[in-house]
Amino acid sequence: MAEQISGGGNFLSQHFRSTVVESMKLSLFLLFIVLESIIIILKHHINNVPLYYHLVIITSFIVLLLYLFKSPAVYVLDYACYTPKFCRVPFSTFVEHLQLMGSFDGKSVAFMEKILRNSGLSEETYLPPGVFYLPPRMDHREAISEVHMVLFPIFEDLLSRNELCPKDIDILVVNCSGFCPDPCLSSIVVNHFCMREDVKSFNLTGMGCSGNTVAVDMVRNMMVAHPHRRCNAVVLSTEILTTGWYRGKERPFMVLNCIFRMGAAAVLLSNKPEAKNTAKYKLIWTLRTQGAFDDRRYNAAFRDEDAEGVTGMRLNGDVLHVAGETLQSHIPILGARFLPFTEIILFLVSALKKKFLDKSMEIYVPNFKSAIQHFCFPATGKSVVRETAKRLKLGEEDMEPALMTVYRYGNQSSASLWYELAYLEAKNRVKKGDKVWLLGMGTGPKCNSLVLQCIKPILSGTSKNPWDDFIHKYPVRVP
Q: 11-55: per-residue pLDDT in tens?
A: 445 545 555 555 555 566 666 666 656 655 555 555 555 655 556
Share above pLDDT 90 across residues of the chain, in percent, rounded to a whole number: 48
Please state the φ and ψ torsions of residue 197, each to the nearest 5 degrees.
Answer: -70, -20
What is the count of structural domains for the chain?
3
Q: Give pLDDT tens digits for 94-127.
A: 999 999 988 899 999 999 999 999 999 999 999 9
CB-CB contact of 101 with 135 (8 Å): yes
Same structural domain for residues 270 and 395? no
Last residue of a domain, one of 251, 280, 309: 280
- Domain presence at residue 399: yes
Same structural domain for residues 318 and 392? yes
Same structural domain for residues 310 and 239? no
Q: List all residues 6 or more positions away from 433 whose beta carbon is below 8 Å from its beta carbon.
A: 453, 454
Share above pLDDT 70 across residues of the chain, in percent, rounded to a whole number: 84
Structural domain containing residue 20 = 2-69
Same structural domain for residues 276 and 287? no
Same structural domain for residues 175 and 217? yes
- Domain presence at residue 253: yes
Same structural domain for residues 153 and 22? no
| Class of residue 66 by CB neighbours under 10 A (exposed 0-12, middle 13-18, buried 19+) | exposed
In 3-state terms the chain splits into helix, strand, coil percentages (rounded to 5) of: 50, 15, 35
Residues in a beta bridge with 157 = none
- Domain presence at residue 184: yes
Same structural domain for residues 131 and 61? no
- Domain presence at residue 479: no
This prediction has a pTM of 0.86
Last residue of a domain, one of 261, 280, 299: 280
Polymer length in residues for the chain: 479
Same structural domain for residues 254 and 321? no
- Domain presence at residue 150: yes
Q: How far apart are CA 171 and CA 268, in angstroms?
A: 10
Q: What is the pLDDT of residue 52?
A: 58
Same structural domain for residues 235 and 324? no
Same structural domain for residues 372 and 465? yes
Last residue of a domain, one of 11, 37, 69: 69
SS3 305: strand
- Domain presence at residue 478: no
Q: How far apart are CA 401 and CA 419, in angstroms?
A: 8
Q: Give pLDDT tens digits for 386-404.
A: 888 888 889 899 999 999 9
**Distance between terminal CA atoms of the chain?**
59
Same structural domain for residues 15 and 139? no
CATH assignment at residue 308: 3.40.47.10
Same structural domain for residues 237 and 349? no
Q: Give pLDDT tens digits for 409-465.
A: 999 999 999 999 999 999 999 999 999 999 999 888 899 999 999 999 887 666 789
Distance of CA 214 to the CA centre of its chain: 6
